[in-house]
Structure 1
């Protein structure tokens, strides 16, 4: 049990003053580390009571002995509270209490975990904090002034514009929208009349100092004004939409100030976080008007970057709110490019439970347009069809490109491997590789394992066999022609090799069984369509089998195979000793079914063991831990299972003789007859 102590016990005012750190640093640290992540090291979450999507976590309290989950963590607000002992605080306080350290030590622990260097000691930190407070007071005065100006005669056109955009009075008040008149010094004069010195007005980003003979002037002139608040509710800056169509910049934002960091804040983040906590999807739009239109239509969990491309710090802020934000993109080329920039930025940062999805709007429409034309339902339909990150990446790599040569396909392979390598999370990197391999198989043909099992894994090569088969699958009713350069001898000679891999031998048993008993093809169609074959010949035969007419007889099936692949293909396959002595050639359909299933089970077990070993090696490359140990143990269990399936000597590392012995034992024991009696 953790003993509570007062946070500030034994601290002098000098000590407290020395602890002052830049607010921006502490805010960034909070954004990078969720409270649930930090607390999770000390508690066991009650997952029945916890609602991860809303950032609502429950566990037995670490500060007093209890069995019930009365300790609550609110990830959205960044606070914890125990309903039993009344312990409460934020992420810094939790580390102080659980590690028995002071505030600065707690900050150092968390900064190290987040990979952030501690800021250099600044004897003027207290003065800077005081300056931020004073600047925030200036911006609040400016908010009031801008809002009053929207009600004046000078703002007639601005009010008409906002009305045309469909903004009602409630929305105008909710977002505190104001107006800057077409004059160069009205705001400066209003603020100085309140006793605010010019250096604070300039420091808040509201005035441009005199230069080159020009007098000082207001920064925002003849613009609709959108106040920008940080998650704590402070006004830190402004955005202005020009009323003059000839203005150099349609939108103008506050400059970087002590208060305002464009890349570390998001428009409407505070209210959006609250709405997301109530179950709404977090939507990232392009600009202020999009967010306002979305919120007015009921999509209150909407935010936007502040005149810049999305930054890494903003992504971390989004993931603090929800594990999978929706990026709303315009359907034009510029929107696609913007989405891909976000994808490229986020690739090294994504992990299990931390990704993005992309909602592509109709071309030529932004969220405001879509909602005005089709209402909230039209927008919801777009959000419901949001696509995963990989969809955009794949689109970029293949759409509009030709892969009619080995060089071009090799270039695609190289680019896809580069994409996968950028993902740091080993498990996620593996899943991305597998999905890319699947997409590639749809484009060129199934991926054929080579040596290590194939797939788009690390630096390993992945090869499409369908590309050898004229880049298209078989379709029922059409005659397939093998490539001209692949003669019958070349296609079938490998089948006559005396010593081949166990996987290849098992594949030959499966394919031979289906060729001899075509009535079983429907039961194993998934295998034929998605199987990873070790040889081109196996793929070609599988494609012919899947294209056969349903209920075709054995003799008719053999004639069709001979017509499409050549007489030698099936003849050499059936001449292999392990096929010739197997139950396939001397039993009924039930016996063949059992033989095929048994061979398939052995093949799956072998490949599962190989896959687990590869993944263990990849885990080892990223640092040995419990995951690697578990994977190696799992690989051993799978391999043992593969060996126990045989009733004879094991097949591991064996050749045709080992498989022949195994199949002969199947025949001798008539395992299929025993299965039917059960």
Structure 2
């Protein structure tokens, strides 16, 4: 038994879930409640105590074990959730390495320095030095309650006020430099933030990891200054306000992303609690991954200038795998379109009226802001308007240039029906037939494929083969085969980066996938993995695969993941149907002559609903496995919730 199995054996999933979901009630062999991960009226969240698993049959359409539940409900990554569950189960995980101990000590010291700095900044804002900053806050509509809620502060002018204060509290200048609070100069350290309004930035676990700062004096540059990259803070990997917005995002199943700190604070003041900020930059891939923990529905609320700017949505072609995964990756229009397919996400854009930003509009006309968010357009529709908006219909060359810009994005749409709709739209704009657009798109994709230089497939080493023979056997229900493709074929990375870790229900498989997500060159860092995870990874690498064409790998990963999800949903629905059937039999009554009385009401309705879902899921499975096309669906049968 692995340590993960030991943790799961000691934690009863019903006890853990009921601690977060008090309304969880027993129904037959299972337990049921409204899903804590999305809003719903009819309970679709089912916990199976025999299998120690949970599943949402509603819009989430996902599930997993107790560790996965804690990961999702707490907004953690898998490793963090594992440690939290281990603590609750009384299981001591492997002793941390010296490097891990050192990193933990550094993190704790820097977190303490940030908290102490925040207190200093708040006191300065309330004191005589903060008069101008308080006046600015008042001019922006921030009352005292809001200032205190968001822990806003002020960094006084002067070169060493913060350093002098924190040194007397036991911190060294080196600590403050490492935390990004001070800068090491030729004559010693000096305060990084001076004469600025301070915005503390916390992560999803509410740890104070850094600061944003706005200049108070006209002409001070930059206008906004952030904590530099530190062991705690990475600007492109965090979202301002997520610590306060995560519950609302999960509850509403939608996140609204704005650009600035004031945009977030203003939105929250007026009841839009699912709003976060991208720290003044274009949305990045790491920020999208962070949001994926809470929702797959994202709205980008951009001011008029940013909405039409290539710089705001510039970035990387995620699905094509062109991105440099170790660097800062900003998602451009193409990246966002690819992400919709990879994550099964709905990414939309709302362009605000000229001269308005989210903060000004929500204060001036709250209902208009609400209406604009509700009417946000799919990112490709927005792109089409941006590219074609200024084109003279009579200018054939201008139309051709616009089509050339649009073609790469059309090719990244995975759904054939959706892609055909946009091909038709582009053809009408260009005044050509659809076949011409399709041919141009194919030629461009062929050119892109020919320009790529796929790396040779690594051959399993003798050590990997030996490890595979003695490693704990991995389940062969489809997830292991999927993971083999992921870890063996580098072409899978663009697609697999968007897979939900919860898809891998086997704990060791999930650990391997989490490690692979964090490090594309995992094979070079096996010593950092625990023994069980390392052996599973080596086994996955050693199992030979057919020589798939590089261009097929991404589509294959998508298809395998879809088939795996569908098959598991079918199995879980079958278990629920059996429970409901038993409940109906127990509820049956007989009248005086012994004739049966039909069961009506909630039990019968739930059973009927489950049967309909089973039918729809059977069709989905046939589609996923290529035995049926979507156009063959009978509209009378309904669809999967």
Partner-residue secondary structure (3-state), 1:187:
helix
CA contact (8 A) 2:8 2:66 kept: no
| Per-residue Cα deviation, 1:73-123 (whole angstroms, up to 9, x for no partner) | 798962579xxxxxx997548999xxxx9978xxxxxxxxxxxxxxxx974
Q: Which residue of 1 aligns with 2:388?
A: 398
Answer with 334-343 or 286-295: which moved more. 334-343
Q: Distance in 2 between matches of 1:636 and 1:61?
A: 31
Q: Which residue of 2 aligns with 1:421?
A: 411
**CA separation of 1:264/1:90 partners in 2, compared to 1, >3 Å: closer, same or farther?**
closer
Partner-residue secondary structure (3-state), 1:209:
strand
Which of 300, 303, 322 aligns to 2:295? It is 322
Q: Which residue of 1 aligns with 2:7?
A: 7
Q: Which residue of 2 aligns with 1:354?
A: 345
Q: Which residue of 2 aligns with 1:282?
A: 255
Q: Distance in 2 between matches of 1:230 and 1:183?
A: 29
Q: Report the aligned-residue RMSD.
A: 4.5
Whether 1:437 aligns to 2:423 is yes
**CA separation of 1:64/1:163 partners in 2, compared to 1, >3 Å: closer, same or farther?**
same
Whether 1:199 aligns to 2:155 is no
Q: State the shift of 1:61 in Å.
A: 2.3
Question: Which structure's CA Rg is the greater one?
Answer: 1
Partner-residue secondary structure (3-state), 1:332:
helix
Q: Which residue of 2 aligns with 1:145?
A: 120
Q: Distance in 1 between matches of 2:54 and 2:239?
A: 40
Partner-residue secondary structure (3-state), 1:240:
strand
Q: Output the TM-score relative to the length of structure 1.
A: 0.53
Q: Distance in 2 between matches of 1:406 and 1:74?
A: 58
Matched ranges for 1:557-576 at <5 A: none
CA contact (8 A) 2:159 2:194 kept: yes
Whether 1:221 aligns to 2:194 is yes
Q: Distance in 2 between matches of 1:45 and 1:441?
A: 53
Which of 190, 201, 206 aligns to 1:233? It is 206
**CA separation of 1:360/1:73 partners in 2, compared to 1, >3 Å: closer, same or farther?**
farther
Q: Distance in 1 between matches of 2:34 and 2:433?
A: 44
Q: Which residue of 1 aligns with 2:109?
A: 134
Partner-residue secondary structure (3-state), 1:200:
helix
Q: Which residue of 1 aligns with 2:242?
A: 269
Q: Distance in 2 between matches of 1:412 and 1:335?
A: 14
Q: Which residue of 1 aligns with 2:217?
A: 244
Q: State the shift of 1:435 in Å.
A: 2.2
| Per-residue Cα deviation, 1:206-236 (whole angstroms, up to 9, x for no partner) | 111122xx44211111111111111111111
Partner-residue secondary structure (3-state), 1:298:
coil
Whether 1:166 aligns to 2:152 is no
Q: Which residue of 2 aligns with 1:176?
A: 151
CA contact (8 A) 2:307 2:351 kept: no
**CA separation of 1:447/1:631 partners in 2, compared to 1, >3 Å: closer, same or farther?**
farther
**CA separation of 1:45/1:203 partners in 2, compared to 1, >3 Å: closer, same or farther?**
farther
CA contact (8 A) 1:142 1:187 kept: yes
Q: Which residue of 2 aligns with 1:385?
A: 375
Q: Distance in 2 between matches of 1:179 and 1:236?
A: 17
Whether 1:78 aligns to 2:71 is yes
CA contact (8 A) 1:180 1:222 kept: yes
**CA separation of 1:444/1:422 partners in 2, compared to 1, >3 Å: closer, same or farther?**
closer
**CA separation of 1:381/1:47 partners in 2, compared to 1, >3 Å: closer, same or farther?**
farther
Q: Distance in 2 between matches of 1:325 and 1:4?
A: 33
**CA separation of 1:53/1:323 partners in 2, compared to 1, >3 Å: closer, same or farther?**
farther
Q: Which residue of 2 aligns with 1:548?
A: none
CA contact (8 A) 1:330 1:362 kept: yes
Partner-residue secondary structure (3-state), 1:356:
strand
Whether 1:190 aligns to 2:175 is no
- Segments of 5+ residues of structure 2 without an aligned counterpart are 10-28, 57-62, 315-331, 445-550, 564-620, 633-641
Which of 279, 302, 305 aligns to 1:306? It is 279
Q: State the shift of 1:153 in Å.
A: 1.0
Q: Distance in 2 between matches of 1:128 and 1:379?
A: 44
Partner-residue secondary structure (3-state), 1:260:
coil
Matched ranges for 1:14-53 at <5 A: 49-50=34-35, 53=38
Partner-residue secondary structure (3-state), 2:300:
strand
